[in-house]
A and B are shown apart, each in its own frame.
Chain A
Amino acid sequence: MSGPEIALCMKGISKHFGPVHALSDVSFTVRRGTVHALVGENGAGKSTLMKILAGVYQPDTGSIEIDGKPRTLSRPAEALAAGISMIYQELDLAEHLTVAENVFLGMEPPGRLLFTMDQNRMIAQTAELSQRLNFKIEPTAVVEELATGDCQIVEILKALMRNASIIVMDEPTSSLSESEAAMLFKLVKALRAQGISVVYISHRLEEIVGLADDVSVLRDGRMVHSGPMAKLDIPGIVHHMVGRELTDFFPTRSVDIGDARVKVSDLSSENGIKDISFEIREGEIVGMAGLVGAGRTQVARALFGVDKKTSGAIALDGRRLAINSPTDAIANHIAFLTEDRKRTGLCLELPCSWNVTLPNLVAIGMKNVIRPGREGKIVTNIAERISIKWLGPQAPVDSLSGGNQQKVLIARWLLAESRFMIFDEPTRGIDVGAKKEVYGLLNELADEGKAILFISSELPELFGIADRILVMRRGRLVGDVNPKHTTQEDVMHLAAVEAAL
C-alpha cells in the first residue's frame, strides 16, 4: 500500500472558451490520503479545473499525472478508469433503484442466468464496504426514500466500488442539515484514513478549516495560493479569494426600527406548520433558524400563498390580507425569494429582463402591452444598482454565474417594491463577495423601511445581520431571541433539542 506520496499532479493547465481565459497556467497537486480543499469565488475556475480532471473538458495546455504516471483524460470513462470519481452538488442517482443497485450501476456482476445480475453478491459487497467504513446504510433501501445525507453515502460507495483513489466533492454540504453535515465530515475522514484523496470544494469556509489538510485558492483562473491548511485561517483564505481584505463582512445595522409592519398570528398550514405567530417591524430584519425539515420554508410558503393555510391570519400595515396564491401575495406587496433558484425561481433559458419583470408587468404599467425597449431600460437601471454582471438584459439567465443569477431574482423583488420581503437561503451556493453584497442589500432594504424575514441555515450570517432570530423546530416556533444576548450554541440547542432526546 505504499504508493507514491503524490496522488494527483496537474501542471500548467490552461483553458479558454472563446475569448474567456477560464484557467491560466494552473498547477494543482494533491497528496495521497489527504483532504484538499479547493476554494474560489464563483467564476474563479474551480468547476472548469474539475471538469478537466473528470475528462469532460480538454485543457489547451498542461499535463496530468495520476500516481506518478502521465495520463490523457479525453473522456469521462477514462477519468473513471484512472480512479477519479466526481460527486456533484446535484446528486446523480437512479431514484427508483436500491442502494446496492446504484452502487453497482453499469458494472453489475452477472447472475447465473443470461441477462440477470447477482443481487445477493451486490447486496453483500455493498454491506461489506459500508461496514468497513462504518457507514450506516441499508443496501436494499430504495434511494428515493433516503435522506440527502444518505444519498451522499451511496455516491461515495459507488465511487469506492469503482476503485476510486481520488474523489472530488462539489459543495457536498449545501443541501445538508447541520447534523447530516457533521456525519459527512466523519465519512470524509474515514475515506482519508483509507488512503483516498478527497478534493473538497465548498463555499463554507468554516467547515474547510476543520476538515482539510491542504488548501488551494483559485482567483480569476489562476492558482493564487496552495499549501497546508494549518498555516491559514478564514480571513487568510478570504484574502486570497478576493485579493483584498473583506472588512466589515456584515454591514452595520442601524437600529432605526419602527412600528409593527407584519403581523402573523396562529398560522398553520396543510404542510405541517402549527400555530406560528410573530411580528416584524418596519426596517427590521428577522432571521429564522432551524434544522432542515423544521418547517422554515413552509412558513414562507404559507405566507406567500403557495401552501394552503388551515388557520391563521396575516396583516400588513394593520390591514388583514386574504392570500390564497402567490398572485394575491404579490398584489399585496409581499416578495418571496425562494431557496431553490433553479426550480422555483428562474426561467433559465429566458432573457434576464423577462425574469426580472415576470411578476411586475402590471406594476410597471405593461398590463396590456409590453414595451421591450422601456422594459430593457427599467431592468438595466435596477441591474446597475446592484451591479449584476451580464451581457445585457437580453442574455439568457443560464449564461450567468450563480451569484449573478441570484441577483437577477433580487432585482425582480426590488422592482416589485414589496413592503414585506421573505428571503429563503439567499446566499446558498454563491461566493463570498456576492454574499457580502447580499448582506449589504438586505441592510439597505431594511433602511428603506421594509420588513424582512431572512431564513438561513448558516447561523453566522443570521447572527451577523438579523435584529431578532426566530427558531423553528418540527413545524413550531420555539424561540424568539436577540442575537446580541444569546449565542449560536443556544440557538442550535433550541433548534435541535428534541432531536437529541
Chain B
Amino acid sequence: MSKFVRQLLPFGSLMLIICILSALRPDTFLTADNFLNVLRRSSVNGIIAVGMTAVIISAGIDLSVGSMMALSGMVGAWVMIVIGGTNPEGAALVVGTIVGIVTGLACGCLNGVLITKLKLPPFIVTLGTMSSFRGISYVMNAGKPYNIPHYKYLNEGVVLGLPISVLIFAAIIVLAGLVLKYTRLGRYTYAIGSNREAAFHAGVNVDSYLTRIYALTGLVVGIAAMITTSRAVSAQPTAGVTLELDIIAAVVIGGASLSGGRGTIIGTLIGTLLISFLRNGCTLLDISTNVQLIVIGAIIIAAVAVDQLARSKAAAGGQTE
C-alpha cells in the first residue's frame, strides 16, 4: 500500500459513511441543512483538534483542552458580567470574548512553560492542569454557570450564508495548514516530534518552539470556548468534560502518530468530520448515544490498526538493507 493510498484511507472512510447514510436516509441526511448542522457541530472540536494536531506532531499530548475550554469560557463570561451587569450587551461581550480567548492562550503558555522549564512529560503536566483548570472553573461561581442571554453572535451569526463558527473553523484550518507547511514553526514542529535531540543539535530552540505550540493550542481552545459559550448562551463549568478524548481520537484517525513527526491538518479535518458524521448518522438512524460510543471506539482502533499494518508492509517491502 503506497503512502498516497494510506493517506486516502480516512478520506475514503468518510466518503463511505456519507454514501451509506445518504442511501439509508436520503430525505433527512442528504440535505444542506443537515450538512451545515454537522459542520457547525464539528467546528468547536475541529478548531481544538487543529491545535492538538500540532501538539501530537511534536510528540506531545494535551489532556487539558477540555478543562481549558471550560475555564476560558467561565473567565470570558465573568468579565462580561463584571463589565455589563447581569445582562451584558455590546462592548462588554466583545471585551469578554477577547479576555476568554486570552485566557486560553495563557493556559496554553502555562502548559508549555511547565513542560519545557521543569522538563516534565506533557502527559503529566496536562493531566495536572486538566484537573486544576477544571477546579478553577467550578470554584469561580460555586459550580454554577454564568448566564449571558445576549451572547448569540458567534453561534447564530451568518456571513455569506455560512455560520460564523464554520467560517472561523475554516479560517483556522487554512491558516494552520499553511503554518505547518510553509513556516519554520511548522517545520520545527515536525523535527522536534521526529527527533527532539536531533532538532536541538541542529540549532532548533526546542523549548521556545514547544512553548509556542502549546500556547497556540491554548489560543484555539480559547476561540472554541467562546463559540461554545455562545452556543449555550452561558458559560458552563462542566463544558468539555472528556472532550480531550474525542479530539485526540479525531487527530489519530486523521493519521497523526502519537510518537510524533507525523500528521497533517487535512487528516485531522477528515478525522473530525468522520466522527461528526458518524454521530449525526447514528442519531438519524435512531442509534442511541451509548451505542455511538461503542462504534467510535471501534473506529479509532480500526483506523490505527489499518495504518500500522500498511506501514509495516511498506517497511518490509521498501528497505533492502
Contacts and interface: CB of A to CB of B under 8 A. Distances in A.
Main secondary structure of the interface of B (DSSP, over half): helix
B195 A346 contact: yes
A40 to B, nearest CB: 10
Interface in A340-364: 343-350, 354, 358-359, 361-362
A343 B197 contact: yes
23 contacts: A17-B318, A17-B319, A18-B317, A42-B321, A43-B321, A306-B201, A329-B203, A330-B202, A331-B203, A344-B197, A345-B198, A347-B199, A350-B190, A350-B261, A354-B191, A359-B202, A361-B184, A367-B184, A368-B183, A370-B181, A370-B183, A399-B318, A399-B319
B187 interface: yes
A348 B194 CA distance: 7
Contacts of B320: 17, 20, 22, 43, 45, 48
Nearest to A331: B203
Contact of A349 (B186, B194, B202): B194
A437 B19 CA distance: 57
A18 B316 CA distance: 10
Given A349-B262, A368-B183, A325 B198 contact: no
Given A306-B201, A343-B197, A346-B198, 20 more contacts: A46-B321, A47-B321, A48-B321, A325-B205, A326-B201, A326-B202, A326-B203, A330-B202, A336-B201, A338-B201, A344-B197, A345-B198, A346-B195, A347-B190, A349-B194, A359-B203, A368-B184, A370-B181, A401-B321, A412-B202
A366 interface: yes
B9 interface: no
Contacts of B261: 347, 349-350
A369 interface: yes
Given A42-B321, A369-B183, A358 B199 contact: yes
Interface residues of A, number: 45
B182 interface: yes
Contacts of B317: 17-18
Contacts of A46: 321
A381 interface: no
Nearest to A413: B202
B203 A347 contact: no
Interface in A1-49: 17-18, 20, 22, 42-43, 45-48
Nearest to A402: B321
A48 B262 CA distance: 28
Contacts of B299: none
Contacts, number: 100
A22 B184 CA distance: 39
Contacts of A48: 320-321
A326 B197 contact: no
A18 B262 CA distance: 25
B201 A347 contact: no
Interface string B170-203: 0000000000011110110011001101111111
Interface in B198-241: 198-205
Contact of A370 (B182, B201, B205): B182
A307 to B, nearest CB: 12
B184 A366 contact: yes
Closest 6 CB pairs of A and B: A347-B194, A330-B203, A359-B202, A358-B202, A359-B203, A327-B203
A336 B201 CA distance: 8
A350 B262 CA distance: 9
B82 to A, nearest CB: 39
Contacts of B187: 354, 358, 361, 370
Contacts of B201: 304, 306, 326, 336, 338, 344-345
Nearest to A20: B320
B291 to A, nearest CB: 37
Nearest to B207: A325
Contacts of A326: 200-203
B204 A358 contact: yes
Contact of B184 (A43, A345, A370, A398): A370
Contact of B195 (A327, A331, A348, A359): A348
B321 A350 contact: no
A150 B88 CA distance: 73
A269 to B, nearest CB: 16
Contacts of A399: 318-319
Contacts of B200: 306, 326, 344
Nearest to B208: A327
Contacts of B203: 325-327, 329-331, 358-359
A130 B199 CA distance: 43
Interface string A308-351: 00000000000000000111011100001010000111111110
A153 B194 CA distance: 33
A354 B190 contact: yes
Nearest to A351: B190
A327 B321 contact: no
A358 B187 CA distance: 8
Contacts of B202: 326, 330, 358-359, 412
Interface string A141-173: 000000000000000000000000000000000
A399 B315 CA distance: 9
Nearest to B194: A347
Contacts of A17: 317-320
A347 B190 CA distance: 9
B198 A344 contact: yes
A292 to B, nearest CB: 20
Contacts of A401: 321
Contacts of B204: 327, 358-359
Interface string B285-312: 0000000000000000000000000000
Contacts of B318: 17-18, 399
